[in-house]
Amino acid sequence: MIAVIMAGGKGTRFWPRSTVTKPKQFLTLASEEATMLQQTYARFRTCLPEEDVYVAVSENYLPIVKEQLPELADNRIIIEPDQRDTAPCIALTASFFLRLERDDVLVTAPSDQYIPETEELMEALRAAEHAAKTDGVVVTLGIVPTRAETGYGYIETIESDEYSSKYGERVKAVKAFIEKPTKEKAEKLIELPNMYWNSGIFIWKPSTIASYMMKFQPQMWSIFDLKEEEFRLSYSKLPKLSIDYALVEKLDRLYTIPIEFIWDDVGTWTSLERIFSTDGDGNLMLGQIYPFATRNSIIYTEQQRIVTIGVEDLIIVSTAEGLLICRKSDEQSVKNAIAALDTDQEGRQT
């Protein structure tokens, strides 16, 4: 089994700490000692030999990867010419290994997830590997939900003896993917016994990825036969598609393994409250912060001192990049706000 860590995301929901030049996977968010990428790499290296752990990263972040993982050999770095989301990245990964004539089972995993229970993770991956050895079979890890989360997609499995998996009791057939729900819908979904969060971790063979790419994304897949310069130009023009939308939601040989160990995708500021302890007033603070009558807030500052008086349920983040102030309940809107900010800045520059 081969692990490929995808490290090309932008992490805009962690703005202004996560920036275009140094996004969240290269920051010490879930640990004071190691970045998200370093933690993910170490997690797989405890279970897999050095030669079977790879990193896929866009070309602009290559220097950061080499700095943070000096032990990673150049031939284990899969370089994207541009950032085009997870579907092009995974297609590139499949092409990379097929050119090497390696069709071992791949684990394609994000670089920014918090999974402290490494042994339990590997048990699930080994069970998934057994199923994914079969041509055309794709397995994902489904997280047993613990709250009505609106920031994740959901997986509905088939709970019937008629559809019991031949790959073992842990492996369940997937009935449907459900897009990120409203709060009201999420509250209903978590009451169902056959509903799981989509972890974004997929287990499949390069040849399986290739066959589905040829079927569902033939135009995208065709560019991997081009010569270097043509390929680079074509890759940069690919649509930004998630692997869920481009392939996975279309599959009928899709399975999931439910897992109950601690997992978090560390996608928003409030996710840090599930990793670190808050103070007696429910605040999570880092930096020179002086709170008065402040409750249930996340406050982070790198340089400036921050004084808060009479605030509650806020996210306040101050870095050299900028200042963020928002209600916790609105944090899913940070991504859209930063996209609008970037568009405005590009407009002013032109």
- Measured CA to CA, the distance from residue 120 to residue 266 in angstroms comes to 19
- Measured CA to CA, the distance from residue 226 to residue 220 in angstroms comes to 11
Q: What is the pLDDT of residues 274-312, one digit of tens each?
A: 999 999 999 999 999 999 999 999 999 998 999 999 999
Domain ranges of the chain: 2-267, 270-349
- Measured CA to CA, the distance from residue 205 to residue 208 in angstroms comes to 5
pLDDT of residue 350: 46
Residue type for 103, please?
A: D
Question: Would you call the peptide bond into 16 cis, given omega within 30 degrees of 0 as the criterion?
Answer: yes
Please report which confidence band the pLDDT of residue 167 belongs to, taking 50, 70 and 90 as the band edges: confident
Position 345 pLDDT exceeds 80:
no
Average pLDDT, the chain: 93
Environment class of residue 280 by beta-carbon count within 10 Å: exposed (0-12), middle (13-18) or buried (19+)? exposed
- CA 176 to mean position of chain CA atoms: 20
Residue 27 token pair: 């920051």
pLDDT of residue 267: 87
Given 3.40.1260.10, 2.60.40.1180, 3.90.550.10, 3.90.79.10, which CATH number is that of 2-267? 3.90.550.10
pTM of the complete model: 0.93
